[in-house]
Chain A
Amino acid sequence: MTASTLDSHPLHPPRIGPLEWIRSRLFPNLRSGILTILLAPVVVYALYRGALFFFVNGRWEVVTRNLTLFMQGTYPRGEQWRIVAQLMLLALALGVGTSTSAASRADIAREAGLTVGKRTPLSIIKRFWSLIVFVLVLLYFAATVTPWLVMAGTVAAFLVGTSARFIPSRFRNIGWTLAALILVAAFQVVVGTVGYSWMITAGVLAAGAWATFQFEGVEGRRATVYRTSVAVAAAVVAYFVYTVLVFPGVGWDHWSGLHLTLWVSAFAIVLSFPLGLLLALARRSTLPVLRWVSTGYIELIRGVPLITLLFMGQYILGFMLPQGTDPSSITRAITAMTLFTAAYVAEIVRGGLQSIPHGQTEAGLALGLPTGKLMRMIVLPQALRSVIPALVGQFISIFKDSSLLYILAIHEFLGVRSLVHAQPDFRVIAHAESLVFVAIGYWAFAYAMSKESQRLEVRLRAGKS
Chain B
Amino acid sequence: MLRAAGQVAAVAVIFLVLRWLIGNLATNYGRLNIGFDFGFLFRPTQFQIPNHPEFDPRSPVWRMVLVGVKNTALAGIFGVALAGVLGLIIGIGRLSQNWLAARLSSGYVEFFRNIPPLVVIVFFSFAVFLYGPLPHLREAIELELFGSDRPALILSNGEWGIPGIRSTGDISLYGILTLVGIVVAALVWRWRTRVTEQSGESHHRVLWSLGVLLVVLVGSYVALGGPFVVDWPQLSENRRRLVSGFSVNAGFMSVAGALGLYTASHVAEIIRGSIQAVPWGQSEAANALAFTNFQRYRFVVLPQAMRIAIPPLINQALNLIKNTSLAAAVAYPEITNLTQTSIGNGRPAVQSIVVLMAVYLAISLVVSLILNVVNRRMQLVTR
Contacts and interface: CB of A to CB of B under 8 A. Distances in A.
Direct contact of A and B (CB under 8 A): yes
Interface of A: 25-26, 28, 32, 35-36, 39-40, 43, 282, 285-287, 289-290, 293, 300, 302-305, 307-308, 311-312, 315-316, 318-323, 371-372, 396, 400-401, 403-404, 406-407, 414, 428-429, 431-432, 435-436, 438-439, 442-443, 446-447, 450
A304 B361 contact: yes
Contacts of A311: 339-340, 343, 349, 353, 356
A185 to B, nearest CB: 30
Given A315-B353, A407-B328, A305 B360 contact: yes
B218 interface: no
A353 to B, nearest CB: 17
Contacts of A442: 114-116, 119
A371 B98 contact: no
B116 A308 contact: no
B99 interface: yes
Contacts of A429: 131
B3 interface: yes
B116 A315 contact: no
Nearest to B124: A435
B187 interface: no
Given A39-B100, A321-B24, A316 B339 contact: no
A36 B98 contact: yes
**Taking each of A282, A403, A436, A446, which has the highest tally of chain B beta carbons within 10 Å of its own beta carbon?**
A403
Contacts of A414: 116, 118-119, 122
Interface in B67-110: 96-101, 104, 110
Q: Which 6 pairs of residues, A with B, have the shortest CB-CB distance?
A: A303-B364, A446-B114, A25-B99, A315-B349, A432-B127, A400-B116
A287 B119 contact: no
B119 A316 contact: no
B113 A450 contact: yes
Given A315-B353, A323-B28, A414-B119, A308 B100 contact: no
Interface of B: 3-4, 7-8, 10-11, 14, 21-22, 24-25, 27-29, 31, 96-101, 104, 110-111, 113-119, 122-123, 126-127, 130-132, 322-323, 325-326, 328-329, 336, 339-340, 343, 349-350, 353, 356-357, 360-361, 364-365
Given A307-B336, A443-B114, A32 B7 contact: no
B326 A404 contact: yes
A35 B103 CA distance: 13
Contacts of B110: 447
Given A403-B116, A414-B116, A446-B115, A316 B25 contact: yes
B90 to A, nearest CB: 13
Contacts of A290: 7, 10-11
Given A28-B97, A320-B22, A287 B8 contact: yes
A319 B322 contact: no
A447 to B, nearest CB: 5
B329 A406 contact: yes
B26 to A, nearest CB: 9
B326 A35 contact: no
Contacts of B127: 431-432, 435
Nearest to A32: B98
B360 A303 contact: yes
Nearest to A29: B97
Given A285-B7, A315-B343, A414-B122, A308 B360 contact: yes
Nearest to B103: A43
Given A32-B97, A400-B114, 17 more contacts: A25-B98, A35-B100, A303-B365, A304-B356, A305-B336, A312-B353, A319-B28, A320-B25, A371-B3, A400-B116, A404-B326, A431-B130, A432-B123, A432-B127, A435-B123, A436-B123, A439-B115
Contact of A403 (B22, B111, B118): B118
A35 B100 CA distance: 9
Contacts of A407: 118, 326, 328-329, 340
A282 B22 CA distance: 22
Contact of A308 (B22, B115, B353): B353
A435 B122 contact: yes
**Taking each of B14, B98, B117, which has the highest tally of chain A beta carbons within 10 Å of its own beta carbon?**
B98
A438 B96 CA distance: 32
A323 B97 CA distance: 65
21 contacts: A39-B100, A43-B104, A286-B7, A287-B8, A305-B322, A307-B336, A308-B356, A308-B360, A311-B339, A315-B353, A318-B28, A319-B24, A319-B28, A323-B27, A403-B118, A406-B329, A414-B119, A431-B132, A432-B127, A435-B123, A439-B123
A197 to B, nearest CB: 24
Contacts of B96: 32, 35
A170 B14 CA distance: 42
A304 B359 CA distance: 9
Nearest to B319: A305
Contact of A450 (B10, B114, B130, B328): B114
Contacts of B339: 311
A443 B132 CA distance: 23
A323 to B, nearest CB: 6
Given A28-B97, A406-B329, A287 B361 contact: no
B49 to A, nearest CB: 18
B371 to A, nearest CB: 13
Given A404-B118, A406-B118, A303 B98 contact: no
Nearest to B343: A315
A250 B116 CA distance: 28
A15 B4 CA distance: 70
B116 A401 contact: yes
Contacts of A319: 24-25, 28-29, 350
Given A39-B101, A290-B7, A414-B116, A307 B122 contact: no
Contacts of B113: 446, 450
A104 B24 CA distance: 50
A303 B14 contact: no
A371 B113 CA distance: 41
Contacts of B111: 443
A26 B98 contact: yes
